């Protein structure tokens, strides 16, 4: 696509963002007032909420598809007094937010300068970001520009009607969400309201190859001990980048600890999309290195359970699902104490 065409798309998107900001929808909308806008080209639904009623972060957030909606509900269920910052690393959404000048990056400002736009004051600079699980917020691409350009007018339509009567978002049936859907007529899209019961993300299917030979060797050489091991993984709250053009990500720390001694047994670092392949191998390597098979393994993530279940059964290890992982918590806070422990949410880019 020609560069001028992309600039024209940015121009249209910035104009819509300014219109959205001028409406100050956060004066009567809350982030719990959820509605959807369907992408007319892909059919994916962006679940929208307006942020800013508390006067802190002014934005339109668009949670993408069932997975994005699931991350919205995870955030909504957080205890505001003791939020878990790990939940924020899992967001899947687009955001149009309004920031201070210093929160923009060089790439943002170059687009604004090329468009000849001027913004002044606090919370007045439009900022567009993609949030993907495990990665730092990043610049949006052309496809996302197109979707936001279509979505914002429909979001404004819903918010304008909500200004007259918030019951416009009250579902006729429990768990339904108002969604703006489009039907093509000629070269135009005709929009209408539709009440939908949203689909939540399906449980992840994890296939784990069983290395029977390796397990048989472990049973012959390792000794069963009366020990409880804990396993957990979490995002390290500082972004890293593998190359200058790669999107930065939050590394995953895979930690094994001893429940009684609170000692760390094993740790590895993984990219967000690669940790599944490491969990079982890390576990078996730990047993092989120590020559010990624990009585129990405590863990809290369902995917880790699915990965370890078959091998643990062969080795005679009981798995227990619990969030009470005292050894992991101690290790976590010790390792990340420099960043404020589990209360830290540092490392995010706007």
Instruction: Count helices and strands (H / E) in the chain.
Output: 9, 14
Torsion, CA 63, CA 94, CA 15, CA 110, rounded to 10:
180
Tens-digit pLDDT profile for residues 114-158:
999 999 999 999 999 999 999 999 999 999 999 999 999 999 999
What is the tally of structural domains in the chain? 2
Tokens 């909308």 sit on residue? 29
pTM for this one?
Answer: 0.89
Note the pLDDT of residue 337: 66
CATH of the domain at 240: 3.30.420.10
Final residue in a domain of this structure, among 196, 226, 242 = 196
Q: What is the pLDDT along the chain (350 residues), one digit of tens a residue?
A: 447 899 999 999 999 999 999 999 999 999 999 999 999 999 999 999 999 999 999 999 999 999 999 999 999 988 877 778 788 899 999 999 999 999 999 999 999 999 999 999 999 999 999 999 999 999 999 999 999 999 999 999 999 999 999 899 999 999 999 999 999 888 889 999 999 999 888 777 888 889 999 999 999 999 999 999 999 999 988 889 887 778 999 999 999 999 999 999 999 999 988 899 899 999 999 999 999 999 999 999 999 999 999 999 999 999 999 999 999 998 788 766 655 544 433 333 44
C-alpha 234: how far from chain center = 13
Whether 139 contacts 130, CB under 8 Å? yes
Report the alpha-carbon distance of residue 135 to residue 117 in Å, rounded: 30
* Statement to judge: residues 334 and 238 lie in one domain: yes
Note the pLDDT of residue 238: 86
Phi-psi region of 226 (alpha: psi -120 to 50; beta: other; left: phi over 0): beta
Whether 26 contacts 51, CB under 8 Å? yes
Note the pLDDT of residue 208: 87
Report the alpha-carbon distance of residue 350 to residue 137 in Å, rounded: 6
Final residue in a domain of this structure, among 148, 164, 196 = 196
Final residue in a domain of this structure, among 145, 167, 196 = 196
Report the alpha-carbon distance of residue 306 to residue 125 in Å, rounded: 45
Report the alpha-carbon distance of residue 204 to residue 201 in Å, rounded: 8
Within-domain flag for 316: yes
* Statement to judge: residues 187 and 323 lie in one domain: no
C-alpha distances out from residue 226 to 255, 259, 281, 294, 305, Å: 20, 11, 22, 6, 20
Report the alpha-carbon distance of residue 265 to residue 25 in Å, rounded: 51
Note the pLDDT of residue 347: 39
Range of the domain at 265: 212-343
Beta-strand relationship, 228-235 and 93-99: unpaired
């Amino acid at each position: 696509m020609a560069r001028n065409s992309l600039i024209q798309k940015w121009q249209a998107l910035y104009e819509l963002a300014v219109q959205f900001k001028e409406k100050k929808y956060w004066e009567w909308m809350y982030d719990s007032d959820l509605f959807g806008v369907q992408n007319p080209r892909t059919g994916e639904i962006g679940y929208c909420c307006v942020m800013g009623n508390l006067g802190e972060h002014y934005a339109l957030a668009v949670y993408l598809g069932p997975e994005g909606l699931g991350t919205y509900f995870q955030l909504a269920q957080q205890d505001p007094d003791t939020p878990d910052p790990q939940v924020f690393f899992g967001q899947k959404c687009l955001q149009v937010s309004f920031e201070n000048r210093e929160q923009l990056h060089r790439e943002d400002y170059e687009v604004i300068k090329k468009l000849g736009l001027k913004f002044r004051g606090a919370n007045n600079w439009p900022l567009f970001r993609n949030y993907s699980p495990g990665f730092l917020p990043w610049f949006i691409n052309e496809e996302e520009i197109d979707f936001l350009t279509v979505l914002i007018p429909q979001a404004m339509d819903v918010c304008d009607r909500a200004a007259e009567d918030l019951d416009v978002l009250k579902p006729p049936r429990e768990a339904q969400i108002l969604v703006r859907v489009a039907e093509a007529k000629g070269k135009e899209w005709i929009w209408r309201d539709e009440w939908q019961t949203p689909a939540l993300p399906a449980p992840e299917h994890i296939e784990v190859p069983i290395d029977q030979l390796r397990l048989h060797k472990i049973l012959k050489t390792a000794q069963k001990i009366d020990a409880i091991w804990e396993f957990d993984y979490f995002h390290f709250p500082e972004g890293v980048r593998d190359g200058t053009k790669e999107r930065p990500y939050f590394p995953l720390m895979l930690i094994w600890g001893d429940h009684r001694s609170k000692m760390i047994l094993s740790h590895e670092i993984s990219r967000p999309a690669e940790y599944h392949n490491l969990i079982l191998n890390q576990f078996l390597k730990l047993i092989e290195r120590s020559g010990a098979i624990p009585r129990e393994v405590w863990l809290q993530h369902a995917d880790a359970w699915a990965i370890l279940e078959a091998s643990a059964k062969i080795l005679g290890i009981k798995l227990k699902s619990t969030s009470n992982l005292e050894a992991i918590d101690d290790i976590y806070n010790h390792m990340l104490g420099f960043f404020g422990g589990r209360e830290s949410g540092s490392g995010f880019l706007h």
